[in-house]
Amino acid sequence: MCGILAVLGCSEISQAKRVRVLELCRRLKHRGPDWSGIHQFGGNYLAHQRLAIVDPASGDQPLYNEDKSIVVTVNGEIYNHEKLREHLSHHKFHTGSDCDVIAHLYEEYGENCVDMLDGMFSFVLLDTRDNSFVAARDAIGITSLYIGWGLDGSVWISSELKALNDECEHFEVFPPGHLYSSKNGGFRRWYNPPWFSEAIPSTPYDPLVLRRAFENAVIKRLMTDVPFGVLLSGGLDSSLVASVASRYLAGTKAAKQWGAQIHSFCVGLKGSPDLKAGREVAEYLGTLHHEFHFTVQDGIDAIEDVIYHIETYDVTTIRASTPMFLMSRKIKSLGVKMVLSGEGSDEIFGGYLYFHKAPNKEEFHRETCHKIKALHQYDCLRANKSTSAWGLEARVPFLDKEFINVAMSIDPEWKMIKPDQGRIEKWILRKAFDDEEKPYLPKHILYRQKEQFSDGVGYSWIDGLKAHAEQHVSDRMMHNAANIFPHNTPKTKEAYYYRMIFERLFPQNSARLTVPGGASVACSTAAAIAWDASWSTNLDPSGRAAVGVHNSSYENNPNPANPIPANDNPAPTAIMSGVVAAPTASPGIAIETQ
């Protein structure tokens, strides 16, 4: 991930202002330690901290069109840049960077070019011809972005709020799937997929269609000119990412540069569930596996740094971010700059354990829509900022636009959890990769029960956090919590402890407002409470506490991998045998199917 900072329409045009912008941009240097750049045009400043992944030799930013009348600073990856270059053959490109297409696309298509980009991105584009600008954020909010306003009428846009909080009168989260145009003076949504309206879809479930869509999503994310790997906890999502990446790595450009054996990484307390499962999957796939151990005290010692980097006081996010933060530092020390990760699957397929209580497919689907729309505030924020803290980039195949469109168009009846029919959470994803002839994963991994990431690294991790907070937050402090923190009042001592650190690091009111429902647990949504009233008194988001289904939800289902019931046959293509043509992103490769 890179770091961007733009100051637009500033009334002060001076060397002192330029120096101040550079000083603020250096607060983002952890995101892009490889190079920095700035472009000034009048009262407009576009600054950049680069993490070089594609074309590291010549892709420094800001980037320009041919006559440099259009300037852009970008954080992200454009996976379809080679295809877009074919449509821009009459343009001259200065670099081989995937982001170099944006300025030229804007010349041809204006603001509508945003919807043509396939990738994760945040960018600010300045058109010096009329002194206008456009800022945009990717569909789901995989990349982080904030916007603020100065007293002089200037607009400030940054990858992280720490570059804005000393200069802006007000700042807030830049909404995902939106663009901000100076010509229109506000936001407009550019990402409007069919699922966004939350209308109930009716497309029949076809395992092969879902499988191909996910394989395409993984393959396109192997675009890199630097060493890379996969995060492998041994759970379903990360294991599928690792499996698909391993299958397609041989013969690719990346394999020729870095070797055909993919590196995998896992973190946990000694003896944790994730370490054991990750090791087993790595052995099955033949990855070059790296295990990182940490202690509860290591994690506690890192909490303040974690909150500084991830910029939230949400309990679940901090719990899960800390091991990821520690692991990212170790990964970067090995020379790796990019990793594939499994975020997004639980939101798309209803993988959280409270989905067991969904009363019907309509409510199930609407809740998955709500969860996807909130990803930028939780899991995307964690994955992006925990890794970016050490100059590491995380790519998330499950949040590929095309894959989401396929998965969210499936009739949600297929996603419903029905233990009596052998359907556990995320059953349709598991079934899509349940290949008897050429297994992607061992059965018990493919059907492994859901663990929260913060639980999987070791159950004593959460217990240790609670005990530490108990020592530092008194009962009297909790009694007065509503007076000290009237917005998002902490409900537990752990939440209070995180909030104290956050407020010291980010004392501005705008900063605390960027965190949604900070003290409430991520899965205690209105839907979860409506489905099961016991959630109204559950203050702990740990997977172990989830509606009585953890470790006991399959008592009536001794074989969760059993075949599709006779009255629920999928489309005929799901049971055909033979060879399916490989996606165009990987010519010459084929996959065998059931």
- Across 12-16, 171-175, 356-360, 455-459, least confident range: 455-459
Same domain? For 325 and 207 the reply is yes
Same domain? For 89 and 227 the reply is no
Between vectors from CA 19 to CA 13 and to CA 23, what angle results, nearest 5°? 135
CB 143 within 8 A of CB 384: yes
Q: Is residue 581 included in any domain, yes or no?
A: no
Q: Is residue 13 included in any domain, yes or no?
A: yes
CB 452 within 8 A of CB 268: no
Q: Over the stretch 393-438, which tens digit does the pLDDT of each residue have?
A: 999 999 999 999 999 999 999 999 999 998 999 999 999 999 999 9
Same domain? For 37 and 118 the reply is yes
What count of Cα atoms within 13 Å lies in the side-chain half-sphere of residue 110? 4
Sign of the dihedral defined by the CA atoms of residues 433, 434, 436, 442, in that order: positive
Residue 58 pLDDT grade (very low, low, confident, very high; cuts 50, 70, 90)? confident
CB 527 within 8 A of CB 337: no
The DSSP symbol for 200 reads P
Q: Is residue 582 included in any domain, yes or no?
A: no
- pTM, to two decimals: 0.90
Sequence-distant (6+) residues with CB within 8 A of 331 are 229, 265, 290, 339, 390, 392
Q: Over the stretch 135-159, which tens digit does the pLDDT of each residue have?
A: 999 999 999 999 999 999 999 999 9
Same domain? For 50 and 115 the reply is yes
Tell me whether the omega of the peptide bond preceding residue 62 falls within 30 degrees of 0, making it cis: yes
**Residue whose C-alpha is closest to residue 495's, from 196, 512, 269:** 512
Average pLDDT of span 318-334: 97
Give the amino acid at 181. S
Measure the CA–CA gap between 250 and 262, rounded to whole angstroms. Answer: 10
Same domain? For 228 and 157 the reply is no
Same domain? For 225 and 354 the reply is yes
CATH of the domain at 207: 3.40.50.620
Same domain? For 204 and 242 the reply is yes
**pLDDT value, residue 466:** 96
CB 175 within 8 A of CB 136: no
Give the amino acid at 336. V
Average pLDDT of span 65-87: 95
**pLDDT value, residue 580:** 26
Q: Is residue 476 included in any domain, yes or no?
A: no
Between vectors from CA 173 to CA 171 and to CA 177, what angle results, nearest 5°? 140
Same domain? For 247 and 182 the reply is no
When divided into structural domains, the chain yields a total of 2
Helix (H) or strand (E) holding 365: helix 361-373
Catalytic residue among 2, 25, 369, 523: 2
Residue 193 pLDDT grade (very low, low, confident, very high; cuts 50, 70, 90)? very high
Per this entry, what is the length of the chain?
594
Q: Is residue 187 included in any domain, yes or no?
A: yes
Indicate the residue among 192, 219, 239 that finishes a domain.
192
Q: Over the stretch 468-526, which tens digit does the pLDDT of each residue have?
A: 999 999 999 999 999 999 999 999 999 999 999 999 999 999 999 999 984 344 444 67
The DSSP bridge pattern shows strands 155-158 and 178-181 to be unpaired
Measure the CA–CA gap between 398 and 342, rounded to whole angstroms. Answer: 7
H helix runs in 374-423, sequence order: 379-388, 401-407
**pLDDT value, residue 555:** 43
Q: Is residue 115 included in any domain, yes or no?
A: yes
Indicate the residue among 138, 160, 192 that finishes a domain.
192
Measure the CA–CA gap between 474 and 578, rounded to whole angstroms. Answer: 65
- Is the per-residue pLDDT at 566 higher than 80? no
Same domain? For 10 and 97 the reply is yes
**pLDDT value, residue 583:** 29
Q: Is residue 155 included in any domain, yes or no?
A: yes
Same domain? For 128 and 144 the reply is yes
- Is the per-residue pLDDT at 460 higher than 80? yes
pLDDT above 70 covers a percentage of the chain that reads 86
> 578 burial class (0-12, 13-18, 19+ CB within 10 angstroms)?
exposed
| Summary mean pLDDT of the chain | 88
Same domain? For 167 and 239 the reply is no
Q: Is residue 517 included in any domain, yes or no?
A: no
The range of the structural domain enclosing residue 234 comes to 200-295+314-457+524-532+540-576
- Across 222-231, 397-406, 443-452, least confident range: 443-452
Same domain? For 121 and 270 the reply is no
CATH of the domain at 74: 3.60.20.10
Q: Over the stretch 348-387, which tens digit does the pLDDT of each residue have?
A: 999 998 999 999 999 999 999 999 999 999 999 999 999 9
Average pLDDT of span 245-253: 81
Annotated active-site residue 2? The verdict is yes
**pLDDT value, residue 533:** 78
In angstroms, the first-to-last Cα distance of the chain is: 38
